[in-house]
Amino acid sequence: DTAVSQTPKYLVTQMGNDKSIKCEQNLGHDTMYWYKQDSKKFLKIMFSYNNKELIINETVPNRFSPKSPDKAHLNLHINSLELGDSAVYFCASSQEWTRGYNEQFFGPGTRLTVL
């Protein structure tokens, strides 16, 4: 009955590789997000999709490409991985985009380590 799930939980890879992280929510929400949490625990939004449409694209290298095949899924593909990409990536969802007071539900996170 997991609300927001992510796979894999851990990802260890070499510099220069390409990897993907998958996210699924079963809450029926319209909006999904990707966050990056660095080693100092600082959380920053990367992308947001509302009904499969990109609505937030923060200053993120274009090596990062989100894809939303349907409103229940938001995947993150990363090309040419760099050491600085090592972080915990969280997926989240909320009911809708425009209210401002909706709770966001977070997945368990994917710890990416680039060697």
Instruction: Return residues touching other proteins (CB under 8 A).
Output: 4, 31, 40-45, 48, 56, 90, 92, 94, 96-104, 106-109
Phi, psi of 51 (to 5 degrees): 50, 50
* Closer of 47 and 64 to other proteins (Cβ): 47
Strand partners for 113: 12
Taking the complex as a whole, how short is the minimal distance between the CB of residue 28 and other proteins, in angstroms?
A: 15
Taking the complex as a whole, how short is the minimal distance between the CB of residue 89 and other proteins, in angstroms?
A: 11
* Closer of 14 and 28 to other proteins (Cβ): 28
* Closer of 14 and 103 to other proteins (Cβ): 103
C-alpha to C-alpha distance for 28 and 26, rounded to whole angstroms: 6
- Cα–Cα distances in Å, from 33 out to 30, 73, 107? 11, 10, 10
